[in-house]
Amino acid sequence: MRIDSHQHFWKYHPVKDAWINEKMKVIRRDFLPSDLEPLLFENQIDGCVAVQADQSEEETRFLLDLARDNDFIKGVVGWVDLCSENVEERLEYFNKYEKLKGFRHILQGESDINFMHMEGFQNGISKLSEYGFTYDILIFPKHLKNAAKLVAKFPHQKFVIDHLAKPDFKIQNFSQWEKGIIAMAQFPNVMCKVSGLVTEAHWNRWKAADFTYCLDVVTDAFGIDRLMFGSDWPVSTLAASYAELCDIVEDYFWEFSIEDREKFWSRNAIDFYDLKF
């Protein structure tokens, strides 16, 4: 079995999706389940987790509607205003949706590097475990030090780092990232998604070897029990086909045991997000 633990859907809107700049214009269109399903089938992927791309409850409901109508969408990571005074009321509301597994805030987009230490945000994080919700950490290497302080404060909260915390494969300078990611791995409540690799590399001239060093680091730091595959489709289409994404990690983990490969490709994601089959 294989699970894609990280992909997106959207109906493109030039204002809502202003983050899709001119350089990324090839993804300035709708990406919906009908676009993804054949790719999953072709690559022997049995289900996926849809992750928010817009910071609104409307986005959360949009993904939940897609998950309701498409069985291969096994989980949703939505958005809720964690800083809101009525966050507990909203979590109570969303708790009725079986496929809603957790939440994400686009921390990498916040101008204040200390945003994750704001009292309101941390209050929201403190409520998630009461409802069994996970939290996806979307950050750059410069945020890792603060992220380590965050996860240390909430040892009973399940966290997962998206996209390896985005090491810069273009310049190949991993010192800050490596120090930070190893520190994060010391916390047993934190997992890491092997996702978003190609979008942080040179889109038109990356090669699989570009990713080996960072894959070595996260595998040594987290161990196979705390890694999971994610495609970051359709953002990943800026640089690679779905099959190419699978090939990168398939080749890297090929010499691992069947049991370990099963953990990476499916079991870890199923357990983390409590996915139902």
Q: What domains does the chain contain, in order, with CATH numbers?
A: 3-273 (3.20.20.140)
pLDDT of residue 142: 97
pLDDT of residue 237: 97
Q: Give tens-digit pLDDT for 155-209.
A: 999 999 999 999 999 999 999 999 999 999 999 999 999 999 999 999 999 999 9
Q: Give tens-digit pLDDT for 245-276.
A: 999 999 999 999 999 999 999 999 999 999 99
Q: Which one-letter DSSP state was computed for residue 116?
A: G
Block residue for tokens 């101008």: 111
d(CA 242, CA 240): 7
pLDDT of residue 137: 98
Q: Which one-letter DSSP state was computed for residue 107?
A: G
pLDDT of residue 99: 98
Q: Which two tokens stand for residue 84?
A: 């809101």
List Cα–Cα distances, 154 to 129, 149, 159, 189, 271, in angstroms.
Answer: 9, 9, 9, 9, 19
Would you tell me how many other CB atoms lie within 10 Å of the CB of residue 247?
14
pLDDT of residue 16: 85
Q: Which two tokens stand for residue 226?
A: 């705390």
Q: Which one-letter DSSP state was computed for residue 58?
A: H
The DSSP string of 165-228 is G---TTTT--HHHHHHHHHHHTSTTEEEEE--TGGGS-TTT--GGGGHHHHHHHHHHH-GGGEE
pLDDT of residue 18: 86
Strand-pair category, 134-137 with 227-229: unpaired
Say whether pLDDT at 240 is over 90: yes
Strand boundaries in 83-124, DSSP class E: 100-105
d(CA 108, CA 138): 6
What is the three-class DSSP state of 46? Answer: coil
pLDDT of residue 141: 97
pLDDT of residue 106: 97
Q: Round the average pLDDT of the chain to a whole number and report it.
A: 97
